[in-house]
Amino acid sequence: MAKSPEVKLAVFGRAGVGKSALVVRFLTRRFIWEYDPTLGLWSTVLLNPRGSKVPTLDPQESTYRHQANIDDEVVTMEILDTAGQEDVQQKEGHVRWGDGFVIVYDITDRGSFEEVAPLRSLLEDVKRPKNVPLVLVGNKSDLDHVRQVGTEEGERLAAEMACAFYECSACANEGGTVAEAFHELCREVRRRKAVQGKARRRSSTTHVKQAINKMLTKISS
C-alpha cells in the first residue's frame, strides 16, 4: 500500500459547536463523554492506539496525529482542534498552518451558522492559492427538535462555498458520517495538491521551452 505525506487539518467553528466532540468521535469512535470526564480528552486519545496527541502551546487547543486507510492508501493526518474563542491573529496562524479545514456549526445555534461565511472569507484572504480545501459540517443533528438551521440552508451554503456538506452528530454518528467528512477532506487536499503539482511542473516546462526558443532565436540571428 502506498504511503502518503502528512495532511494537516484544522477544525474551526464557534465555541460549543462540538469541534472536540467531532475530533474525539473520529479518533476513537466514541462520544466525548463516554469516558470518565475527570480523565479528560487526553486520556481518551492516549488510551486509544489509533490517535496520539501532539502537545501544543495553547492549552485551549489540541493537535492529534492519526493514520487512516483512505482509498487503499495510508494517510497520516495531523488534526488541530482550535479553540472557539481565538483572536484573529491566532486564527490566521492556524489557517496558514492547515492544508484543509473543517468548518463546524451547530444546527441548534443559528449564530454559529452565521459565523461560517466570515470564517470562509478568512481562509480565502489568508491562503494562497485560493479555493481552499474545506468541508462544512452541521453538528448535533440528534437535536432535531430544537433545530434552528435547516438542512437545505447548510446545503445551499456549501454549494456557494463549493465544498462538501455533512449534517451529523458527534453523539450519535449514524452511518459513520463524521469519519466520512474527515476522509473526504483528506481526498480534497490530495486532489488539490496533485493539481498544484501538475501546474507547477507545467509552468517549469514552459520556462525551459521559452529559454530554448530564446537561445535558438539568438543563434539563428
Ligand X SMILES: Nc1nc2c(ncn2[C@@H]2O[C@H](COP(=O)(O)OP(=O)(O)OP(=O)(O)O)[C@@H](O)[C@H]2O)c(=O)[nH]1
- List residues binding ligand X (CB under 6 A): 13, 15-21, 32-33, 83-84, 139-140, 142-143, 169-171
Backbone angles phi, psi at 53, to 5 degrees: -95, 135
Compare residues 29 and 192 and give the one whose CB is closer to ligand X: 29
From CA 168, how far away is CA 181, in angstroms rounded? 9
For ligand X, give the closer residue by CB, 127 or 140.
140
Instruction: Using the CB atoms, write b or e for 17-40: b if 16+ within 10 Å.
Output: bbbbbbbbbbbbeebbeebeeeee
Min separation Cβ 152 and ligand X, Å: 20
Residue nearest to ligand X (CB): 84
- Tell me which residue of 75, 72, 124 sits closest to 101, measured CA to CA: 124
Instruction: Find the largest Cα–Cα distance for the chain.
Output: 81
Grid-cell match 502551546, residue found: 57
At closest approach, how far in Å is the CB of 58 from ligand X? Answer: 11
d(CA 87, CA 43): 28
Residue among 106 and 188 whose Cβ is closer to ligand X: 106
We find the least distance from the C-beta atom of residue 24 to ligand X, in angstroms, to be 7
Minimum Å distance from CB 139 to ligand X? 5
Question: Which phi-psi region, left, alpha or beta, contains residue 16 (left: φ > 0; alpha: ψ -120 to 50)?
Answer: left
**Least distance in Å: CB of 27 to ligand X?**
13
Residue 32 or 158: the one with the smaller Cβ distance to ligand X is 32
Nearer residue to ligand X within complex by CB, 73 or 86: 86
